[in-house]
Chains A and B, each alone.
Chain A
Amino acid sequence: MLKMTHLSKVYRTEVVETYALRDFNIDVKEGEFVAVMGPSGSGKTTFLTIAGLLESFTGGEYLLDGVDVSNLGDNARSKIRNEKIGFVFQSFNLIPDLNVHDNVEVPLRYRGMKSAERQKRIQDALERVGLASRMKHYPAELSGGQQQRVAIARALAGSPRLLLADEPTGNLDTQMARGVMELLEEIHRGGATIVMVTHDPELATRAQRSVHVIDGQAVDIAEEPRFHARGDRAEAHAGA
């Protein structure tokens, strides 16, 4: 599903070059749930934004669902983001001026979906995260956990094949974090590929395998699978 080979990301100024990622290799198979761990500044979020086509990379190769994305233009990258990728961020990233319904609707609008289909998907997604009754609420009227569930519903509504989560429980208390993780696991059981960046080793144990990023390199490979989403997907695949 997601394969990076010898990938590098360099930030250049007039006087210095900083490698955010260097010879970065990872291979996430379809249906996997991978946790990406590492200390602050190690490059894991850079990896995630490159994986989500929100940022370009300097060298190497990135195949997303078998497609080399390095030479794609903005329209093609946006289309892939819209149709194949869902994002869940630590800070929820809901649009404050839009209510829950309208926030979930955003990616569906860009897909050019008809109104009836949009409404069905919004209803289904919000029911799945338990917030169908809060459609008309604005983000500021919801708790952090609820906002994150709205963000997950927004990702779910587009039926993405790849869900990228950046510290999805980082701003939540333990109980809310547990609820969010259960949702992610449920989505994974539904067949989605999930890549989750986290600091939290305990959360990482919920994934099938962990990849450690240190100094811009994926240096650690998967441990033994700890749980199997589906019987036929028991095998974890190592990157690096």
Chain B
Amino acid sequence: MFGYYFDLALRSLKRNPALTALMVVAIGFGVAASMITYSVFRAVSGNPIPDKSAQLFTPQIDSWGPQQSFNGDNEPPQALDYTDAMALMRAHAAKRQTLIYPVQLSLLPGGDRSLPIKANGYAVYGDFFPMFEVPFRYGSGWNATQDEGRAALVVLSEEFNRKLFGGANSVGHEITLGGHPYRIVGVTRRWNPVPRFYSLFGGSGFEEPADFYLPFTRALDLQIPTNGNNSCRGNISMNGWDSWLRSNCVWVTPWVELDSAADVARYRNFLEGYSADQQHAGRFNWAPNVRLRDVMRWMAYMHVVPPESRISLMVSLGFFLICLVNTVGLLLAKFMRRAGEIGIRRALGASRREIYMQFLIEAGTVGLAGGLLGLLLTAAGVSGVGLLFRPEIARLAHVDLSLVALTLAVAIAATVIAAFYPTWRAAHVHPAWHLRSN
């Protein structure tokens, strides 16, 4: 019967093209507005590392005290100072751990190109790569021994490797970053988790992909300053690199990998114990105040999702709702004008269930047409989201197969749901009355 009802639906829609067009346009615009803003929201609020987001944690230690918290909410600083960061690394209390800070270095490309290139990267430990499941095209990261040895190694991103070596296998080659040589040990595949959960201190989470990764220890040796946030409390007098390292300035983001709830509990105890030790040692004059958040909780705490994304999604969903309410009215008018036909069909043996099927399939057909229009409008709209969002957010919006399927599914499902009341009215038409009045 589906084919029969679909055929009836097409005939019915052709019978009154103006009314049909109104409904299709309402649904098309409604679903397109929703999908455009959803495509942005999806990009900024998704789980950037779904396989491991529950095993990756960023520890926080209150090294400033309750009077100095960021927002006066007794939350520890959002990053660690050098002392605490190195203490965590030395303790090695987790399965894997890394410290991260962003760096910016210039690179002399060599050959006939003489102007330096500005390159953005991260100083990390070797565990960074397996912890975050960084995929490699060539080579690999480095190991703990190389961390200890403060080796002059570098991993390039696929994009940066293409820029420097035309995409060829550059492992073993040497490049000069910030005036110092580094041997390339790996080239990643395209990897840019969005939001960039592992480096939210001072970053929006939506930056361009990193160009390179170099050993944290090597970066310290070369006294490469952070290119990210550096937040300090109190009267700080800094005389050079060592003074900065000893200061209370926070600038290092730590990450640890913990496989089980027991590991998490153990690590939290370790953090509290460490903090208590600092208190006993007189470095902290307050009770231990630590946090251990996983990826999703960390992103929520850091308010990664831009408020304009959430607001525009809600506004567009409201618009879609209004379109659907209009569609309910139009469908009701359309269906009830056919009360005579419904009466005839009921007399000839159609049960209410058959009437439901006929009219819901007709509504679904309207939804499908609205969805197709919505797809065109979504494709056009996605290219114009820069009018609504910051450029680094706008570039994340894109139409892919899942958005196409979602657009069609939402349009059909929403229209069918909107048609329930009109269809209920149609199915409860009193056949005898309409057969008499005809």
Contacts and interface: CB of A to CB of B under 8 A. Distances in A.
Nearest to A112: B1
B351 A75 contact: yes
Interface string B1-15: 100100000011001
Indicate the member of B1, B344, B349, B436 with the most A CB atoms within 10 Å. B349
Interface string B400-438: 000000000000000000000000000000111001101
Interface residues of B, number: 25
A82 B435 contact: no
Interface string A153-174: 0100010000000100000000
Contact of A75 (B1, B346, B348, B353): B353
B431 A54 contact: yes
Interface string A39-74: 000000100010010110000000000000000001
Given A81-B348, A87-B347, 6 more contacts: A49-B436, A54-B346, A83-B349, A89-B438, A93-B344, A106-B344
Interface in A161-219: 166
Nearest to A111: B349
B291 interface: no
B352 A110 contact: no
Given A54-B346, A89-B438, A49 B351 contact: no
Nearest to A109: B4
Indicate the member of B1, B4, B15, B435 with the most A CB atoms within 10 Å. B435
A85 B435 CA distance: 15
B435 A93 contact: yes
Indicate the member of B11, B343, B346, B351 with the most A CB atoms within 10 Å. B351
Contact of A97 (B12, B347, B354, B438): B12
Contact of B435 (A54, A78, A83, A111): A54
B209 to A, nearest CB: 58
A91 interface: yes
B334 interface: no
A154 B345 CA distance: 12
A95 B351 contact: no
A112 B357 CA distance: 14
A81 B349 contact: yes
B340 interface: yes
30 contacts: A45-B436, A49-B432, A54-B346, A74-B352, A74-B353, A75-B351, A78-B352, A78-B354, A79-B349, A81-B346, A81-B347, A81-B349, A82-B348, A82-B350, A83-B349, A87-B348, A89-B435, A89-B438, A93-B340, A93-B435, A94-B344, A95-B341, A95-B344, A97-B12, A97-B341, A106-B344, A106-B345, A109-B1, A110-B349, A166-B435
Contacts of B352: 74, 78
Nearest to B345: A106
A145 interface: no
Interface size range on A against B: 20 to 34
B379 to A, nearest CB: 35
B348 A110 contact: yes
Given A78-B346, A106-B345, A93 B438 contact: yes
Contact of B348 (A49, A55, A97, A154): A154
Contacts of A74: 351-353
A107 interface: yes
B435 A49 contact: yes
A89 B434 CA distance: 11
Interface string A106-148: 1101111000000000000000000000000000000000000
Indicate the member of A75, A106, A166 with the most B CB atoms within 10 Å. A106
Contacts of B349: 78-79, 81-83, 107, 110-111, 158
B347 A54 contact: yes
A110 B431 contact: no
Nearest to B344: A93
A95 B339 CA distance: 11
A128 to B, nearest CB: 18
A150 to B, nearest CB: 12
Nearest to B341: A95
Contacts of A106: 344-345, 348
A93 B431 CA distance: 11
Contacts of B354: 78, 110
Contacts of B430: 55
A56 B6 CA distance: 32
A154 to B, nearest CB: 7
A82 B344 CA distance: 12
Nearest to B352: A74
Interface string B329-345: 00000000000110111
Indicate the member of B343, B347, B435 with the most A CB atoms within 10 Å. B347
Interface in B1-34: 1, 4, 11-12, 15
Contacts of B344: 93-95, 106
Given A55-B432, A93-B340, A97-B15, A110 B438 contact: no
A55 B4 CA distance: 27
A52 B347 contact: yes
Contacts of B348: 81-82, 87, 106-107, 110, 154, 158
Indicate the member of A45, A54, A107 with the most B CB atoms within 10 Å. A54
Contacts of B353: 74-75
A180 B434 CA distance: 23
Contacts of A166: 435
Contacts of A83: 349
